[in-house]
Amino acid sequence: EKALLWIKLVARGRAGHGSALHPDNAVTAVAEAVAALGRTHWPVRLTDTTTQLLAGLAELTGDDAGDPDRLAQRAGAASGFLRSTLRTTTNPTGLTAGYKHNVIPDRAEALIDVRVLPGTEEAALADIRRIVGPGIEVEIVHQDIGLEVPFAGDLVDAMVGQLSRHDPGVPVIPYLMGGGTDNKALASLGISGYGFAPLRLPSDLDFTGMFHGVDERVPVDALEFGRRVLADLLRTY
């Protein structure tokens, strides 16, 4: 899963009256930094996991793995989720500045949700500082580790085996998690964890697109399928 970096961009300027000619405006400065970062097209950078993902998708679709974005789009409703795991993402999520319509504030802030590939945290921060420019302070609000473990071993074999038993012939492909899980905390204890939440979903359901949405849900029969797979895995592993 990707590493988590929640950062705050801070611009400082000179306070003044809203009617004045005022080039040293903190709101303008932070807005320009947010636009520059939010519009950055981060390049594809593959890990061992996403390389296996693309190879699996290429085999299933018969498409060429040379264009990762196009290949990920072949995954239908899950394409947006998968494309975000191929690169760094920097999404502005909040803005704070000012207190009155006719007063120019001396400080403006923006919150950015940054998710980076495991092991690229410092390089991503350096790129972010370069993109927003020297006049913008970059504060780290919260930082957590990224993880990547091999898609191999007895546990993986057991998980794949249970999926094959309950849904014969189903292909199983590893993926990188764009968000974060409790595996970050388990890793600090030396535990290698895997995300395994089997759901047999309708092909037209944008399941990942509903994450944290007002209508986030899962079909009951998909949940029941997952319960059966997990119960058998716990009984037999």
Query: Are 146 and 11 a contacting pair, CB within 8 Å?
Result: no
Q: How much is the pLDDT for 76?
A: 87
pLDDT tens-digit series, residues 132-157: 999 999 999 999 999 999 999 999 99
Rounded to an integer, the average pLDDT of 201-219 is 88
How many whole angstroms separate alpha carbon 174 and alpha carbon 50?
A: 8
| pLDDT above 90: residue 105 | yes
- How many CB atoms are located within 10 Å of the residue 9 CB? 22
Query: Are 146 and 1 a contacting pair, CB within 8 Å?
Result: yes
How many whole angstroms separate alpha carbon 166 and alpha carbon 158?
A: 12
pTM of the model: 0.90
* C-alpha of 13 from chain center: 33
Q: How much is the pLDDT for 164?
A: 96
Residue type at 160 in one-letter notation: V
Query: Are 6 and 115 a contacting pair, CB within 8 Å?
Result: no
| pLDDT above 90: residue 17 | yes
pLDDT tens-digit series, residues 122-132: 999 999 999 99
| pLDDT above 90: residue 206 | no
Rounded to an integer, the average pLDDT of 63-69 is 89
Range of lowest pLDDT (9-18, 91-100, 151-160, 198-207): 198-207
| pLDDT above 90: residue 115 | yes
Helical spans, DSSP H, in the chain: 26-38, 48-61, 68-73, 79-83, 121-132, 154-166, 183-187, 220-236
CATH of 3-42+88-144, picked from 1.10.287.610, 3.30.160.270, 3.40.50.10320, 3.30.70.360, is: 3.30.70.360
How many whole angstroms separate alpha carbon 160 and alpha carbon 196?
A: 10
Q: Where are the domains of the chain?
A: 3-42+88-144, 48-85+147-236
Query: Are 209 and 75 a contacting pair, CB within 8 Å?
Result: no
